[in-house]
Structure formats: C-alpha cells, structure tokens
Chain A
C-alpha cells in the first residue's frame, strides 16, 4: 500500500480528542489535586504528601484490605461460575441457543436496575432469598442481608458476580470454540473420556483466555461502584466500603477533592500493579507460544 502520510493520524483525531479531554486531562488533574487541599472553596494550597500520609496512616489500610477480600471473592466466583457456565453453554444439546440468550440477560439490563431488584430480594421480611431460605429450612428466621456486616459484604459480592458471569461465560465460550475440533476428535478416537479431554485439551488451551478474563474481572470488581452504592452506600458501618466507594464518599459527598484524589491514585496504582503483573507474565509466555 502506498505511503499513508498524515492520513492515519487524521483518522485518530476524534478518538484522541475525546480521550484527552475526558481521560488524559482528568488523570493528570487527579495527580495534581492529590497534592492539594482542594475542596469546594475556589482557592486551595499544595500540601505535599499530606493526603497520602493521611490515607495510609488512617482507616484506608482497612479499606484496602477489605477491597482486596471483596475483589478476591468476586473474581473467584465470577471466573469459576463463568467457566462452568461456558462449559454448559458449549454442550451441543437441544435448547442450547435459548440457554445462551437467556444467560446473557443480567449483562443486558442496566446495572442499576439489577441492583434495585437484588435490593428487594435481600429484604429480610419480604425478599426472595430470606423467604426461600426459611422455606427450605436454611434460615431460622428473617435475615436482613443488607443490615449486617458479613451478610452485606457477601450480598454485594454476589450481585457483582451475577452481573459479571454472562460476560465471562461469553468470553470463555468464544475461546473454547476457537480450539480446533480435530484435537477433540483425535482424543476421542483414542478413547479419552469427556472429562479427560476437558482437562488435557480445553483447560490448557484456555489458559491465556482465562488469564485475560481474570485480569478484566479484577479490574471490573475494583472499579465496581453502582452495585455497592445502590445496595448499601458502603454500609452498614462501612462493611461494604471498598476503595472506590470510599473515594466517592470522600470527594463527592464530603467535597474533599484533594483527599479523594489521593485515594483515586491509590486505586490506579492497584490497577496498574495487577495489569503490570499480568503483562509481564504474558510477555514471558509469549516467546514459548510463538515458538511452536
């Protein structure tokens, strides 16, 4: 193809402008604000590392630890259930298409609407989960899931998982279908059982996709805001306050932009560390894969 000159750059202009204005500039501004005592007042001063010292000296360590647990639980469940779902939806059985469409629904509807419905289901008196739990004899009496520290923690995770599973399942399903069929046929001719074929063919070949989707799940869960905000607003007594909720409360509810910005940077550092680990692992793996 003849030399493109400036043409490709011209094509990038709209995307770049939007990204610079809405992402790059705010990112730089967050870094800058994190060194200030900015609030609703029009003027503010630079305070050096004070905001960072504050967050790491104070309650924020607890918030980080809690976020870590929250994300860990959410990701394990999302990837676990998602993989299981992908295997089931990959089975060539009657009704497969319908099952695939239906299992996408939690992803299609607005996240907030899903959270509204779950909020009702967690109601101890009238909600489905407490109600069914009592009928099955799993619960002694009404359990107000969102009113207790441990149960609200698990409840917010579960809703996050519910929203995330369809995307994980679809992604893994796509990866499974890209595995050459003749591999399975060869193994089948050799008399390998279905489970054996899954363990020896599907799982190893799925590894890169599993790694990618796990990374995405970590990042989605780290950034998960709508669900927690609607279900609990971070309560009861901070039991579901993850880093992102804490940042929002500090900055938007309490107008402490400087402190909020420092917390936002802490989240970005976490995201970067996760992504960095992933990409260095991927880079180590890449030469081997291209060699075969």
Chain B
C-alpha cells in the first residue's frame, strides 16, 4: 500500500511530531503547572515544571485578588458573541451576493474586501480613536464590538462565498420558477442549505474575536468594568509583584469558553476550512 510507512519513517514522523508538539504545547504545560503552584513556590530555583505541594489554591484565591475577574471573562464572551452576530449580519448576505449574482463592480468590491484583509487594525488606530471620541462611543462596549466586527467581515465573506459557490443552483431556480420571491428563497432554501458553512464562519469569527480583543480594548476603553480578559489581566504587569500562579490560572479559566467551543465544533471547523481553502 502507498501509505504504508517503514519503521524508520514512522520513527522519524513521530519524532518530528513530538518536537512540533513540544514547541506548540510547552507554553500550555508551563501555564498549567505554574497555576498549580502555591504563591511561595512560584519563583523557584532551579527550574522545574513540578514543585512540592501543588494544588488548586490559585484558582480559589484569584477571584478575590482580581475582584473583576468574572466580569472580564463575561465581557470577553459578550464582546466576542456580539462581534460574531454583527459580523454574520454583514457576511451572510454579502457572501451570497458575491456567489450568486452578476452585477457591476462585483470584482471591484471583492478586491476591496480582499485588500481590507491586509490592513492591520493598528494602522487605523488614530482616526478610529478620534471617531470613537467624536461619536461618544469611547469607553463603551460598542468601541470594541464595531471595529472588531469590521475586521472580521472580509475573511468571513471570502470563506462563505466559496461555500455558497458549492451549493447547486438548481434548487433556487426551481423556487423562482414556482414564483417564490428572492427573500423567501433566501430564507427557506439558501440559508438552511448553507447552515454548515455559516456555522464554520461563525466559529472562526468567534474564535478570532475572542483571540484579538486586546488592541481596541486597550485603546478605546479605560473603564475596568468593560475590560475583556486580556486587557484586565494586562494590568497585572504594572504591579510590583505579579502573582503569576493566579495570572496563569485566570488565563486558563478565561480561555476555557473558547476552547470548549473549539473542541465541540472542531470537526466542522477543520473540515470547513480545509474544503473552503481548496476552492480558491
């Protein structure tokens, strides 16, 4: 068989995978074991992953030493969810338009969205800051949600468009022939058919929105109550003594929501990404 590996090859592959996974996962192991240390064992010399008397102390004490922790985590979740919903509202109709209709300037619009993908959010931070100030959105959730969504839209459109392209046109045609309106066709036929693709885009948007809530929140929001987890925890570094065990514990707990989303839905995600990316 073509896929049969020799013993040497198998050893080489597993060795390579082990090196790769050590590089990619060592930080997780480190964070996990530091979070299990007691405060007096955090700064230990010589270095060792383990230490004596490990326990879940930090997971208990962090809630009192970071009074707003739960709030940060909920903020992160709320912001990511809002970004996803707002982005989907823009992505789904636009992706459908690009996939199904011929219209003037279509390629122009598509190229424009592609180009936006290349502009880093930080490049536009000055006028965005002034815009948020002028509209009174500074220090509100909106200042984090609206720009967050805008920078997720182009990728979403490109991804979902390839998905729409793979859905056969016959069903829509049949509906039109039967006299259904465009909106009705979209609601009753297109959206249900496209649901797996929409779910994939929703997950990627959510993960991205959860992963990237640092810059906008750091710049546009000075109110601690509204801070998402990364910014809430960033303030730790200003303090004299960082309680690293609590910081790591809080990072782990705060990452759990997005990890859970990922683990339950990764099958669709990986399948969708791989099939979507192939098309281009």
Nearest CB in chain B to that of A116: its residue: B251
Given the known interface contacts A104-B266, A128-B47, A244-B123, the answer about A170 and B274 at a Cβ–Cβ threshold of 8 Å is yes
Q: Is B195 an interface residue (CB 8 A)?
A: no
B233: A residues at CB distance < 8 A = 112-113, 116
User: Does B97 contact A117, Cβ atoms closer than 8 Å?
Assistant: no
> From residue B31, how far is it (CB to closest CB) to chain A in Å?
5
Q: How many residues of A contact B (CB 8 A)?
A: 99
Inter-chain CA distance A116–B254, complex, in Å, is 13
Say whether, besides A121-B30, A222-B120, A244-B120, A12 and B93 are in contact (CB < 8 Å): yes
Question: Is the beta-carbon distance between B118 and A108 smaller than 8 angstroms?
Answer: no
Nearest CB in chain B to that of A227: its residue = B214
Q: Is the CB of A105 within 8 A of B270?
A: no
A278→B248 CA distance, assembly (Å):
41
Give the total number of A-B pairs whose CB atoms are below 8 A apart: 291
State whether the Cβ of B189 lies closer than 8 Å to any Cβ in chain A: no
Complex CA gap A219/B151 in Å reads 14
B75 at the interface (CB under 8 A from A): no
Q: Which of B5, B13, B46, B86 has the most CB of A within 10 A?
A: B13
Interface check A134, CB cutoff 8 A:
yes
Check if A134 sits within 8 Å of B46, measured CB to CB. yes
State whether A108 touches B97 (Cβ < 8 A).
Answer: no
Name A175's contact: one of B30, B112, B182, B278 (CB within 8 Å). B278
In angstroms, how far is the closest chain B Cβ from the Cβ of A265?
9
Q: CB distance B30 to A120 under 8 Å?
A: yes
Query: With A128-B30, A223-B120, A244-B123 as given contacts, are A257 and B130 in contact (CB-CB < 8 Å)?
Result: yes
Give complex CA distance A158, B198 in Å: 34
Distance from B192 Cβ to chain A, minimum over Cβ atoms (Å): 18
A23 lies within 8 A of B119 (CB): yes
Interface membership of chain A positions 95-121, coded 1 if the CB is closer than 8 angstroms to chain B and 0 otherwise: 100011111111111111110111111
CB distance from B125 to the nearest CB of A (A): 6
A119 (CB) vs chain B CBs: closest residue: B237
* Contact yes or no, A126 B44, CB < 8 A: yes
Q: CA separation between A30 and B119, bound complex, in Å?
A: 12
| Majority SS at the chain A contact face | helix
In this complex, the interface size class of chain B, counting residues with CB under 8 Å from chain A, is: 35 or more
Task: Find chain B residues with CB under 8 A from A107 CB.
Answer: 207, 211
Docked Cα-Cα span, A175 to B86, in Å, equals 31
Report which of B24, B229, B277 forms a contact with A162, defined as CB distance below 8 A. B24
A117 adjacent to B123 (CB under 8 Å): no
Contacts of A114 in B (CB 8 A): 27
Asked, given contacts A30-B124, A173-B274, A261-B126, whether A134 binds B24 with beta carbons under 8 Å apart, the answer is no
State A111–B251 Cα separation when bound (angstroms).
11
Partner among A21, A29, A165 whose Cβ is within 8 Å of the Cβ of B130: A29
Q: Do A117 and B262 have beta carbons less than 8 Å apart?
A: no
Residue ranges of B at the interface with A (Cβ–Cβ < 8 Å):
2-3, 5, 9-10, 13-14, 16-17, 20-21, 23-28, 30-31, 34, 42-49, 76, 86, 89-91, 93-94, 96-97, 100-103, 106, 109, 112-113, 115-131, 146-147, 149-151, 153-154, 157, 169, 172-173, 176, 182, 207, 210-215, 218-219, 229-231, 233-234, 237, 244, 247-248, 251, 254-255, 258-259, 262-263, 266, 270, 273-275, 277-278, 280
22 A-B residue pairs with Cβ-Cβ distance under 8 Å, sorted by A, are A4-B101, A7-B97, A12-B93, A12-B109, A14-B90, A15-B94, A21-B146, A26-B124, A27-B119, A27-B124, A33-B126, A101-B266, A105-B24, A105-B28, A109-B211, A109-B259, A110-B255, A116-B248, A120-B248, A178-B278, A223-B119, A223-B122
- A: residues with CB less than 8 A from B are 1-2, 4, 7-16, 18-19, 21-23, 25-27, 29-30, 33, 81, 84-85, 88-89, 91-93, 95, 99-114, 116-121, 125-128, 130-132, 134-135, 162, 165-166, 170-171, 173-175, 177-178, 184-185, 188, 194, 212, 219, 222-223, 225-226, 229-230, 244, 247-248, 251-252, 257, 260-261, 264, 267-268, 271, 275
